[in-house]
């Protein structure tokens, strides 16, 4: 029975999880072993017949996970077990398996192959998210709603601007991924301490040949392992991206609150159940899942950072934690991105509720507009601020519209006509450059 929710099929796409399945991880290691043999043969270091046999036998159906695990009971070393089983399967050619290599020449290079495919999936997902956000921004660039700071009503914004902010943030995460890929997706064939001594005079050619065959870039220099700052950078990026998704989901959760209800997750009314006891409930469960998984993603950062300072040319303290950190980081972020796209594609938006909420403060959210109008007519900015603050307090105390309070203030009425005041207190007229800013952000996001 599965213990981890990922193993139960709850989180992550099949295409992402398949990359980290035991069979695929073993196959990638065997691919590196076979590629090394072929490169050595091309350079005249081992017989070509041996390389052909190693390639023929280097499959996870010939060297099975079960066979490797059984051998590991004796070796207490997973890569050594894989090498021994492969060598056994290759007969006389087996003596050329793992020629001049150290374990992490195989492990780190195979991880690069897996991560290259996994990053490609994440790249596809995050670009889809960016496109969904851009569409929402453009479609709702005229939809005026309350802006909120400190959980309180501030000046009006548009729903399109809100989505454009998220689209631009997503684009920055896309840019970060593009930049870090060149540092993350690297292989190595540099031996026990990074000197390449075991491969002899053709060592640089051997590494170059292996990486060229695998379409990988070699790390500039390594110890026994590829330096873990590369993986830490990726995990930090994944956590930042997870936090961006958490930010969006948290906003939707807040907008779905009963007393706000300006936007909400899609809900399958015919079958979805919000509560086992309260029939009326429609809970933001997908957004809550995203926020919950973001907590796990943030937790991945610490072990990834702590894996950077290994002893001397390496120790084994990174190995066990990376067996968790690498698969889980990719799979959980995959789930978060898919869920975010689903939520946004099915988002319910309630313009009437937005309009109603704009009136909750009875015009008080437009006092900045009046303040600036007075300031432009010659009243000092601070004096205007003081007058509007007193007006707001009076309106709040009397539970009356701000327009009525302002209409009784000579310092306001001598400078602003009723027509001017009415226009200033129209939330649709006080969204500044929201349309232009939305368009600018979308244009930037689509370039990422």
Instruction: Please give the pLDDT value at position 421.
Output: 95
CATH top class, domain 103-140+155-273+281-356: mainly alpha
d(CA 371, CA 157): 18
Task: With cut-offs at 50, 70 and 90, classify the pLDDT of residue 42.
Answer: very high
- Fold for 364-424, please state it: Ribonucleotide Reductase Protein R1; domain 1 (1.10.40)
Structure-token pair, residue 186: 């690297």
Considering the entire predicted model, what is its pTM?
A: 0.94
Tens digit of pLDDT for each residue in 175-197? 999 999 999 999 999 999 999 99
Task: With cut-offs at 50, 70 and 90, classify the pLDDT of residue 163.
Answer: very high
Q: Which helix (H) or strand (E) holds 154?
A: strand 152-158
Say if domain 14-96 classifies as CATH 1.10.275.10.
Answer: yes
Exposure string over 102-130, b if 16+ CB within 10 A, otherwise e: bbbbbbbbbbbbbbbbbbebbeebbbbbb
Greater confidence, 7 or 87?
Answer: 87
Instruction: Please give the pLDDT value at position 239.
Output: 98
Average pLDDT of span 211-230: 98
Tens digit of pLDDT for each residue in 376-417? 999 989 999 999 999 999 999 999 999 999 999 999 999 999
Average pLDDT of span 113-118: 98
Tens digit of pLDDT for each residue in 258-302? 999 999 998 765 555 555 444 555 789 999 999 999 999 999 999
d(CA 192, CA 419): 82
| Spans of all domains in the chain | 14-96, 103-140+155-273+281-356, 364-424
Tens digit of pLDDT for each residue in 252-265? 999 999 999 999 99
Q: With a cut of 60, say whether residue 211 has pLDDT above it.
A: yes
Q: Which of 8, 49, 215, 275 is catalytic?
A: 275
Is residue 153 flagged as an active site residue? Answer: no
Instruction: Please give the pLDDT value at position 4.
Output: 86
Instruction: Using only the alpha carbons of the chain, give its radius of gyration.
Output: 30
Task: With cut-offs at 50, 70 and 90, classify the pLDDT of residue 83.
Answer: very high
Instruction: Please give the pLDDT value at position 318.
Output: 95
Is residue 150 flagged as an active site residue? Answer: yes
Gap between the terminal Cα atoms of the chain: 43
d(CA 414, CA 427): 23
| Average model confidence (pLDDT) across the chain | 95
Neighbours of 324 (CB within 10 A): 12
Average pLDDT of span 314-327: 96
Q: Which of 150, 270, 280, 312 is catalytic?
A: 150
């Amino acid at each position: 029975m599965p213990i981890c929710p990922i193993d139960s099929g709850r989180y992550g796409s099949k295409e992402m999880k398949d990359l980290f399945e035991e069979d695929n991880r073993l196959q990638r290691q065997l691919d590196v072993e076979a590629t090394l043999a072929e490169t050595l043969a091309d350079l005249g270091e081992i017989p070509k017949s041996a390389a052909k046999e190693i390639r023929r036998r280097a499959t996870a159906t010939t060297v099975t996970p079960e066979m490797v695990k059984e051998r590991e009971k004796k070796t207490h070393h997973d890569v050594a077990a894989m090498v021994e089983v492969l060598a056994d399967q290759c007969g006389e050619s087996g003596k050329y398996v793992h020629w001049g290599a150290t374990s992490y020449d195989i492990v780190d290079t195979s991880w690069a192959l897996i991560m290259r495919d996994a990053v490609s999936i994440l790249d596809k997902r995050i670009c889809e998210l960016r496109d969904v956000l851009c569409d929402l921004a453009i479609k709702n660039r005229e939809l005026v709603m309350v802006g909120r700071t400190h959980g309180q009503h501030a000046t009006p914004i548009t729903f399109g601007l809100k989505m454009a902010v998220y689209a631009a943030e997503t684009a920055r995460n896309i840019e970060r991924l593009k930049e870090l890929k060149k540092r993350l997706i690297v292989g190595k064939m540099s031996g026990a301490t990074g000197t390449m001594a075991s491969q002899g005079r053709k060592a640089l050619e051997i590494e170059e040949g292996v990486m060229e065959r695998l379409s990988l870039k070699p790390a500039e220099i390594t110890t026994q392992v590829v330096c873990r700052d590369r993986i830490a950078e990726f995990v930090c990026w994944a956590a930042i991206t997870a936090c961006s998704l958490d930010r969006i989901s948290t906003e939707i959760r807040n907008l779905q609150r009963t007393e706000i209800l300006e936007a909400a997750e899609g809900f399958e009314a015919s079958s979805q159940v919000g509560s086992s006891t309260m029939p009326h409930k429609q809970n933001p469960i997908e957004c809550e899942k995203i926020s919950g998984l973001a907590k796990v993603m943030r937790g991945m950062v610490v072990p990834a950072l702590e894996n950077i300072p290994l002893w001397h040319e390496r120790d084994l303290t990174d190995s066990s934690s990376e067996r968790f950190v690498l698969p889980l980081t990719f799979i959980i972020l995959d789930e978060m991105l898919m869920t975010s796209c689903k939520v946004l594609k099915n988002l319910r938006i309630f313009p009437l509720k937005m309009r109603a909420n704009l009136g909750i403060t009875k015009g008080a959210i437009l006092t900045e507009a009046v303040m600036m109008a007075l300031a432009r007519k010659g009243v000092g900015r601070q004096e205007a601020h003081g007058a509007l603050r007193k007006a707001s307090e009076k309106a709040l105390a009397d539970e009356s519209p701000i327009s009525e309070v302002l209409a009784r203030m000579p310092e306001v009425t001598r400078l602003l006509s009723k027509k001017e005041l009415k226009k200033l207190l129209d939330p649709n007229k006080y969204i500044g450059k929201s349309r232009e800013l939305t368009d600018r952000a979308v244009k930037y996001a689509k370039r990422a």
